[in-house]
Amino acid sequence: MSSAPPSSTNPALSQALRELDVILANAGVGIVFVKARKLVRCNQRYAEIYGFDSAEAAVGHSSVELYATAQEARGLGARAYPVLSSGETFRGEQMMRRQNGDMFWAHLTGRLINADDPADGSIWIVDDISERKLADAALADLHAEQQLIFDHAMVGIVFLRGRRVTRCNRAFEQLFGYGPGELDGQLSRAWYLSDEDWKAAGDLCYEPLSRGESFHAEMLLGRKDGTPVWCEVRSKAIDRSDLSRGSIWITQDITARKRVEQELVNAKSQLEALVEQRTQQLSQTVAALEQKVAEQQAAEAHIQRLALFDGLTGLPNRHLLADRASQAIDIARRNDEPVAVLFLDLDHFKNVNDSLGHRVGDSLLMQLASRLRGTVREQDTVARTGGDEFVLVLPQTDVAGAAHLAAKLMALASAPFQVDQQELTVTPSMGIAMFPTDGDDFDTLCKCADAAMYRAKRDGRNAYRFFTSEMQAQSARALLLENALRRALERRQLSLHYQPQFALDAGGAARIVGAEALLRWQHPELGWVSPVEFIPIAEASGLILPIGEWVLREALSQLRRWDEAGLPQLTMAVNLSAVQFRHDDLPELVGRVLAGTGVPAWRLELELTEGAAMDNPAMAIAVMNELDARGVRLSIDDFGTGYSSLSYLKKFRVGKLKIDQSFVRDLTEDAEDRAIVDAVIRMAGALGLQTLAEGVETEGQLAFLRRQGCQAVQGYLFSRPLPADAFAEFALARTMVSV
Ligand code: C2E
Ligand code: MG
Ligand code: MG
């Protein structure tokens, strides 16, 4: 109280009043005396609360103006009066007004000074509680906000105490399929799938919660109906030092996320599988590519080998041989050393192929190749140059060395070969030429070795021969004859002789039925040259084609002239070389000549050697069919000297077999020849073929042939080949005789 206390004579009272003043001045609350609604005294704090400049400035003011309105002032009075008047203390909160017009909440405590007389006034203690009010409001707001969040949160929130639900939001109930309030007071076991899960979760969360950390986990929980639901759970103790105060759990349904995660895992593993598969495919592709490249390289290597090596035996071929031989000869020339060139050819190898098949023949050649390879030295070359032809080039080898090796090769080539279950034997014929004696280059040496081999064959095969000067002379003659033969036609040195052919009639007579045209060559210096010598030269040089055509035309023209001269209707046999037979043009040529000479086709008989037909039977059949279609007849010449397959013979369009004179010659002495001739005649009969025996010189031969059923003969017994005029004479005379 700011007004000075009344001076008193009583010192104790004065002291008490002074003390009271100090208390009032320093009180933390406002204190005021009010009498008749007027402020009588107040302390400093009161003045501060209401915004008076000082305690003294407040004195005299109406208490009513301290309220928001007069009505409110009256309202408080009405509430306080009954309490005060009964001598009690009034307590209440009231909105009040400061001097500057601001409103504030005040806590009022009032009491009458004299309960018996309210007119003595009242004393009020005023506390400014505006700040507390504001704090309360803020707290209430916060609480309301929290409640809002709690009620409308998208996540489930549950408060647990002693593992029981004290409170949970709607989201939590819905997450697990419960109705509102249904979970209140329930054990948390309700949303676990099993007791074990529940216990495990309790064990797991205890530790972090007691440390004040949050517990975080993804759990598979269960709805009310038992369906599982993946949840993400976060939990925290409300008071980490006192877990009994419970915990809050925030729970979120992550089933969809889990599903997406699972799908992601699936997609990832699918992707990985795909990548794996692609990788595999790629590596397969790479492997295939590598294989392709390897195959291509192998193919190229193969082609290279083919170019230089023989496909069957793997030996060097003609090209590589020439290369190696030239090198060997160059070196030998520089070092003044000898080189041997050896030709090796199997005798009658064609028979093996024809009778046993090419597979057997190939196997034999492969075995022979390895035997040859195994016999020679490292620096020697063994090459295969044709079917059964091998060439060996032997550096630093003299005549003695070559002879030694040749003898060794004879033995090794003649040793039996094992093919499948069969044992085969073949014999070789060999020719040897020496560098530098026989020739200075590989070409010449080859010709010499070939000639020597030819001689070995002529000498009965299964032998080896060195090239000699005599052979040299012979090959010189062959060259001479070839050159001379080139002009023989135009120089009219060629002519035809005709040998009569006879049919053996049942009555014992021999009736002239035809003639065989035989080529003759008379050279001004060389004299008569035998067809046995010049025909092979004509064949090798190709001259046989124009010469053969001339023979055909000349023989058929002669036949026409004989017709005109009154000879009986004879057939004309004309020899065909294998070279002519192989020529595409043959059937047309024959047709042309027949037409040109006007001779009917049936009167022409073409003689073909066994070899020419058997060389390429398929081609032979085709040509024979064409000739047969033109009406031309065919016979097989020198039958028995070559090698005929019966199965082909049946398919050949031939009408006649000419039994070779070599079998006829010794018929009377040689039982074996008789057996052969007998067999040929009977076989021909079985095949529906005629037989004509060549080279019949004696009555004994004729008698035998007649007995065996041979249908026709020709030979010196009847006549030698004759010039055309002589033949005509002979034929007319014979016809007269037999008539
Ligand atoms: P070839 O066709 O077998 O002719 C039969 C050969 O035997 C002829 O020899 C003939 O004179 C001979 N000869 C006939 N009867 C007897 C006999 O009783 N005893 C003996 N020892 N020999 C007899 P040539 O005329 O020397 O002809 C030899 C071969 O030349 C012919 O054998 C034939 O293969 C071939 N030739 C002849 N002329 C031609 C022709 O125009 N073209 C063709 N491509 N080859 C022909
Ligand atoms: Mg003939
Ligand atoms: Mg003949």
Nearest Cα to Cα of residue 403 among 315, 465, 446, 483: 465
Kindly report the protein residue whose alpha carbon is nearest to atom 46 of ligand 1: 575
pLDDT at position 9, please?
A: 66
Ligand 1 touching residue 499 (CB < 6 A)? yes
Q: How many residues does the chain have?
A: 739
Probe ligand 1: pick from 522, 580, 694, 727, max atoms within 8 Å of CB? Answer: 694
**Any idea which ligand is nearest the CA of 573?**
2
Query: What separation in Å is there between the alpha carbon of 572 and the centre of ligand 1?
Result: 14
- Other beta carbons within 10 angstroms of residue 372's beta carbon come to 23
Ligand 1 touching residue 535 (CB < 6 A)? yes
Nearest atom, ligand 1, residue 535 CA: 45
Ligand 1 touching residue 685 (CB < 6 A)? no
Query: What separation in Å is there between the alpha carbon of 593 and the centre of ligand 3?
Result: 24
Kindly report the protein residue whose alpha carbon is nearest to atom 15 of ligand 1: 715
Probe ligand 1: pick from 518, 530, 550, max atoms within 8 Å of CB? Answer: 518
Probe ligand 1: pick from 533, 549, 575, max atoms within 8 Å of CB? Answer: 575
Domain with CATH 3.30.450.20 in the chain: 11-129, 153-258
Nearest atom, ligand 1, residue 538 CA: 44
Ligand 1 touching residue 610 (CB < 6 A)? no
Query: What separation in Å is there between the alpha carbon of 641 and the centre of ligand 3?
Result: 10
Q: Do β-strands 389-395 and 228-237 pair in parallel, antiparallel, or remain unpaired?
A: unpaired
Element (H, E) at 548: helix 544-564
Domain with CATH 3.20.20.450 in the chain: 498-738
Token pair recorded at residue 269? 């593993």
Nearest atom, ligand 1, residue 696 CA: 18
pLDDT at position 60, please?
A: 93
Ligand 1 touching residue 736 (CB < 6 A)? no
Per CATH, which fold does 498-738 belong to? TIM Barrel (3.20.20)
- Spatial strand order in the sheet of 389-395: 381-386, 389-395, 339-346, 428-435, 464-466
Kindly report the protein residue whose alpha carbon is nearest to atom 37 of ligand 1: 518
**Any idea which ligand is nearest the CA of 664?**
1
Query: What separation in Å is there between the alpha carbon of 345 and the centre of ligand 1?
Result: 28
Q: Is 0.85 topped by the overall pTM?
A: no
Query: What separation in Å is there between the alpha carbon of 563 and the centre of ligand 3?
Result: 26
Token pair recorded at residue 248? 């809050």
Kindly report the protein residue whose alpha carbon is nearest to atom 23 of ligand 1: 695
Query: What separation in Å is there between the alpha carbon of 527 and the centre of ligand 3?
Result: 23
Domain with CATH 3.30.70.270 in the chain: 318-467
CATH class, 11-129 region = alpha beta
Kindly report the protein residue whose alpha carbon is nearest to atom 13 of ligand 1: 695
Nearest atom, ligand 1, residue 714 CA: 15
Query: Buried b / exposed e across 231-264, counting CB within 10 Å, b at 16+?
Result: bbbebbbeeeeeeeebbbbbbbbbeeebeeeeee
* Sign of CA pseudo-dihedral 436, 437, 440, 441: negative
Ligand 1 touching residue 539 (CB < 6 A)? no
Query: What separation in Å is there between the alpha carbon of 165 and the centre of ligand 1?
Result: 134
Ligand 1 touching residue 577 (CB < 6 A)? yes
Tell me the C-alpha distance between 561 and 567, whole Å. 9
Q: Where are the alpha helices (DSSP H) in 309-348?
A: 318-335
Ligand 1 touching residue 715 (CB < 6 A)? yes
Kindly report the protein residue whose alpha carbon is nearest to atom 3 of ligand 1: 638
Token pair recorded at residue 302? 């193969």
pLDDT at position 231, please?
A: 93
Ligand 1 touching residue 575 (CB < 6 A)? yes
Q: Do β-strands 164-168 and 215-222 pair in parallel, antiparallel, or remain unpaired?
A: unpaired
How far apart are the two ends of the chain, measured CA to CA in Å? 200
Kindly report the protein residue whose alpha carbon is nearest to atom 19 of ligand 1: 695
Kindly report the protein residue whose alpha carbon is nearest to atom 10 of ligand 1: 721
Kindly report the protein residue whose alpha carbon is nearest to atom 22 of ligand 1: 695
Contact assessment for residue 109 and residue 90, using Cβ atoms and an 8 Å cutoff: yes
Query: What separation in Å is there between the alpha carbon of 701 and the centre of ligand 2?
Result: 19
Query: What separation in Å is there between the alpha carbon of 628 and the centre of ligand 3?
Result: 21
pLDDT at position 4, please?
A: 46
Residue 692 β-bridge partners: 658, 712
Nearest Cα to Cα of residue 500 among 714, 728, 729, 738: 714
Token pair recorded at residue 623? 């040509």
Query: What separation in Å is there between the alpha carbon of 516 and the centre of ligand 1?
Result: 9
Kindly report the protein residue whose alpha carbon is nearest to atom 12 of ligand 1: 695
Tell me the C-alpha distance between 78 and 106, whole Å. 17
Kindly report the protein residue whose alpha carbon is nearest to atom 4 of ligand 1: 518
pLDDT at position 407, please?
A: 95
How far lies 409's CA from each of 190, 402, 567, in Å?
A: 106, 10, 60
Ligand 1 touching residue 531 (CB < 6 A)? yes
3: alpha, beta or left, given left = phi > 0 and alpha = psi -120 to 50? beta
pLDDT at position 622, please?
A: 93
Ligand 1 touching residue 549 (CB < 6 A)? no
Q: Domain 153-258 is classified in which CATH homologous superfamily?
A: PAS domain (3.30.450.20)
Residues of the chain with pLDDT below 70 are 1-9, 305, 643, 736-739
Ligand 1 touching residue 697 (CB < 6 A)? yes
Q: Does domain 318-467 have CATH number 3.30.390.50?
A: no
Burial of 138 (0-12, 13-18, 19+ CB in 10 A): exposed
Nearest atom, ligand 1, residue 660 CA: 3
pLDDT at position 2, please?
A: 46
